[in-house]
Amino acid sequence: MTRHICLTLCLSCLSILLIVLAVWDHLPDHRILHIRTSDTDREPTATKVTRELSVSPSLLDVTNFSIKSHSVFRSYRRVRSVTECSATPEKRFDCARDRALSRAECQSRGCCYVPLPADLSGGPPWCFYPPSYPGYTMGPFVPTSKGRAANLTRSKPSYLPRDITALRLEVAEETSSRLHITLKDPSFPRYEVPVSPPPSEQSSGIKNPLYDIKFHSDPFGFVVRRKSNGRVLLDTTVAPLLFADQYLQMSTSLPSPLISGLGEHYTPITLDLNWTSVTLWNKDMAPHSDANLYGSHPFWLVQEGDGLAHGVFLLNSNAMEVVLQPMPALTIVSLGGILDLYVFLGPDPQSVARQYQEVVGYPMMPPYWALGFHLCRWGYRSTNETRSVVQRMHEANFPLDVQWNDLDYANKRRVFTFDPVQFGDLPEMVQEFHQKGMRYVLILDPGISSTAQPGSYWPYDEGLRRGVFIKNSTGHTLIGKVWPGLTAFPDFTNPEAVRWWEECIRDFHAKVPVDGLWIDMNEPASFVHGSVDGCPDTDLEKPPYVPDIIGGQLSFGTLCMSGQQNLSTHYNLHNLYGLTEAIATYSALLKVRGSRPFVLSRSSFPGLGRFSGHWTGDVRSDWEQLRYSVPAVLLFGLFGVPLVGADVCGFGGDTNEELCVRWTQLGAFYPFMRNHNDRPNAPQEPFVFSQEAQAAMRSALLLRYSLLPFLYTLFHRAHTSADTVARPLFLEFPTDDNSRTIDRQFLWGSSLLISPVLEQGSVELSAYFPLGMWYSLHDGQPCHSKGQYFTLSAPLDTINIHVRGGHILPQQVPALTTTAARSNPFSLTVALSDEGWASGELYWDDGDSLDTYERGDYSHILFTAGQSRLVSDPVVLNGALDGLILGNLRVFGVPSSPKAVLANGEIVTDFTYQSTTMSLTVLSLSLPMTEEFTVQWIL
């Protein structure tokens, strides 16, 4: 009887187990995916699809159990060995990224299917590649003019539609710190990003490369190591290479979880690797988490954990998703083009940023006035209202260099026009601003109105005649909808469109002499999806896989992917639209004005910094957005776009006094500073707040203006050496463990530490000081840090700024415009190191002419301090500093009160010494900046 009961129980348990196994055979990976399953099962507007388990009643029918169990066992005979499928969850690479798969479907791909507990939902994949998953086989290398090449072949196609079974691998060791690896189709040319290759050394001339690369032939993969320590930087053998017409996938391990880049997203300075993903597809989308924003930058930098760093750049402009996992590892999926990888070996983070910019281009040198304060609002409804704002700013003694107008100026919102009633005297207003020493910038959207009567709107009529607009798949002008209504979109890859754009700007500038142009809505954005006529039902519009993008389809809020441009389809060129417009606008301004162009672009792609600055878009007026503006600015510095900032006080929603004061204090240390506001919101110009708030804002602005000679010198270094301007701490202190993820503080260059208040109601903050001597820029209060946090007082009128020991800052007496300030006396702040030394420099030119450095038309002065004296050394002089003097001097870290101060051997009586801060202030100097001088303090 007992045996019978046991046997019955065993059979019951076995039945339950087999039922569960049978159910599993039909169970798809439960994680949320964004998929298109087949040509007959598309959901164009869905962004995410969760497949639910549905169990057939017959599957649970006990009478049919034996039949079902046989199919289950047959299925399991196809399952790979336990060893093949034993990868820990964090090391699984998704075999079902293109669509959700059941167990049977997963195993039919030759992949492992191992479900995970519910608490891991949304994380590791259930269906993943085994180590021996078949891929490409690599043939022998042959030498080429640039390096070496090999053929890759597949013995059988992958599971992807329109798989490409033969590839060409090209490897170029371009410099000792830059490796270039390309994978493309050798039989049929594919779209490639149209850029000029960077300069490279002859392979035979490369000495002591920092890298070593090994190839695995079957299945194909490669491993890049740092030669100095053998550390694996990339290992693509962790998962198979996939290369189909509209789906390119490559995975690699990472040596550290400290990865930065892959913008533009609303993230901290380092990315979250806990099964997250970022999508690169330019979109008109206000910054918020888990969204693709205005720009695409497929570049990442990895801090390796010991002060070393490397970077990787995938030169590809197609829609892209990068999946991050805690192994640490990442997987890149691109919807087209080729795999064109650059690897930068550093060895330090700043060198990685420089090597990246050697490929995409060093930043342009901005005009000096662009570093001043800019003021804008969508809602300055007339020239009189705009004039009034400028007058009230100056009456309240706020610096203001550049006044802007949003689209209010345009007649019927059509660009290259101005409203004859509300802005009828716009040309006269701009001339008035110029007479005040100010500049003027207005918005210029790319969409050209197509609804005006023929012959009444030259930009459209002429553009249509010359064929400059993007066309739809039938060859007609593609019509979308933006602010003026129905619009056509210039194709800036068409040389004729570039010439037409220049003529439009030239004609408008002859009427309204603008000083710069603000190019907005250039992702490009449209208020209809694709076009007013819809888009054709093609694979370009509905590819087999769509990354996790806002709207769920590529044409959401933009143009049809089948749109025809000069170089290719919009499917390939979408992410380049803003860059190509910036290039055309920069070129037009250069030719029309004959001086340094100022362009500000919302959309971005690698290389934008050569032609334009960037602002971070439609940020909300709240404390979270204030806080996240810091990593946003720092990341664009890494991307080679140093002229960057967020809208001070926020663009969307009503600000408040405390928030606006704190944002103005932080914004005073954005490389680009503009207060910008939306139409329905409460006013946020500095003069509308209380006297206490105005005093705090004025103090921050005047501090910025006093530091502009230093900031301008930093931009010179960015332009000539690819140094960063606003700099994350880890870039300057790569061996400091505490600096690796700090993004609530930042540096200007290597000298100035900015510690803003980012939380409501705070009157103190905890600030990190790397190892060394630091001094308060306000009063010279010293702080000797062992690499530690200090609590700093931060009342509403204060932003904490500290200068690093060993550095000298050139400053200038501020004024209400840079035009006036550039004639004022200079000052120097000398922050002595523990050993009593310091150094600094000043780069100076006329602030506006083209190529002053390249033509040698500039002045460059070196400053050194040591042994109780300061010495200036004018290395290069061109007359730009003629008549300018050093008026005063501050020296921090002077151990005792000087007995005397001498300037060029002459006794100076006007000096003070503060023993509590060990700071010396020397006033009433009148030392010509064009001459060598020495200031000595005798102890």
Catalytic residue set: 520, 523
- Sequence-distant (6+) residues with CB within 8 A of 16 are none
CB of 24 closer than 8 Å to CB of 102: no
Q: Please answer whether residues 320 and 326 qualify as being in contact, where contact means their C-beta atoms are separated by less than 8 angstroms.
A: no
Contact residues for 60 (Cβ-Cβ < 8 A; gap 6+): 19
Among candidates 344, 14, 17, 99, which has minimal Cα distance to 209?
344
DSSP string, 394-409: HHTT----EEEE-GGG
- Phi/psi of residue 590, nearest 5 degrees: -60, -45
* Coarse DSSP helix, strand, coil percentages of the chain, rounded to the nearest 5 percent: 25, 25, 50
Instruction: Give, to the nearest 10 degrees, the angle between helix 577-593 and helix 495-511.
Output: 50
Return the ∠ at Cα 922 (arms to 372 and 785), rounded to 5°. 75
Backbone angles phi, psi at 767, to 5 degrees: -120, 140
Q: What DSSP element (H or E) covers 54?
A: none
CA–CA dist 738, 730 (Å, integer): 9
* Helical (H) or strand (E) element with 855: none
C-alpha span between 588 and 504 (Å, rounded): 9
The residues facing 831 across adjacent strands are 807, 892
DSSP assignment of 128-192: E--TT----EE---EE-SSSEEEEEE-SS--SSTTB--EEEEEEEEEETTEEEEEEE-SSS----
Please say whether the dihedral angle defined by the alpha carbons of residues 576, 579, 585 and 587, taken in this order, is positive or negative: negative
Residues 6+ apart with CB under 8 A from 274: 123, 324, 325, 326
The C-alpha atoms of residue 910 and residue 18 are separated, in whole angstroms, by: 95
DSSP state of 124: S
CA distance 314 to 299: 6
Distances (CA, A) of 506 to 510, 514, 591, 827: 6, 10, 9, 41
Q: How far apart are CA 518 and CA 647, in angstroms?
A: 14
**Among 885, 855, 845, CA closest to 712:** 845
Q: What residue type is 151 in one-letter code?
A: N
- d(CA 748, CA 895) in angstroms, rounded, equals 27
Distance (Å, rounded) from C-alpha 382 to C-alpha 399? 22
Q: Which two tokens stand for residue 192?
A: 């490639």
Are 508 and 515 within 8 A, CB to CB? no
Question: Pick from 409, 428, 533, 426: which is nearest to 483 by CA?
Answer: 409
Tokens of 426: 């716009």
Distance separating alpha carbons of residues 815 and 851, to the nearest angstrom: 27
The two beta strands, 178-184 and 838-844, are unpaired
CB-based burial of residue 116 (10 Å sphere; 0-12 exposed, 13-18 middle, 19+ buried)? middle
Asked if 299 contacts 312 with a C-beta cutoff of 8 angstroms, the reply is yes
Alpha helices in 613-671 (DSSP H): 623-638, 657-667
Q: Where are the alpha helices (DSSP H) in 744-858?
A: 818-821
Read off the tokens for 539. Answer: 């694979």
